[in-house]
Amino acid sequence: MLIADLLSPRLSLFVLSLSAVPIAAMLYWVRRKHRLSYGITEMMMAIAGLYALMLAIVFKDAPADGYLSLISERTISFMAAVYVMVRAFDNIGEGLPARFAQVWDVVFPKAKKWRDTMSGGAKIRNQDSG
């Protein structure tokens, strides 16, 4: 028996909606730790979503497309809601008082910028040769 069977339909939908929060937290962690990979994935998802939208607009009368259209609409809506949650995590992290920021950075560590690591290496080489 599922937990959703024990709860009222509205409460079970609320609980299921809250289950997206850990997904958003995980994606926010990936965004903080691996910015380039996250950005590339984000761009690919945006292109795929736009492609699905264009297919629906151009081929709106395609036969047997109703089920696929329903799945894609729900998937895109879910991804949009999770994306808004990831942005909310970002805004929360940026707006935290200093006393909480240290804990936030432990839970969601920032990635080292590739340029910073490269320029740091260049400075060491320049100091060694000079």
Residue 126 falls inside a structural domain: no
Write out pLDDT tens, residues 56-65.
Answer: 778 775 555 5
Contact in structure between 88 and 27 (CB atoms under 8 Å): no
Q: Which residues contact 81 (CB under 8 A, 6 or more apart)?
A: 20
Least confident of 21-30, 66-75, 96-105, 118-127: 118-127
Number of domains within the chain = 1
Contact in structure between 25 and 89 (CB atoms under 8 Å): yes
Residue 10 falls inside a structural domain: no
Task: Provide the pLDDT for residue 65.
Answer: 59
130 band by pLDDT with thresholds 50, 70 and 90: very low
Provide the domain limits for residue 98: 20-121
Task: Provide the pLDDT for residue 78.
Answer: 86
Least confident of 53-67, 73-87, 111-125: 111-125
Residue 9 falls inside a structural domain: no
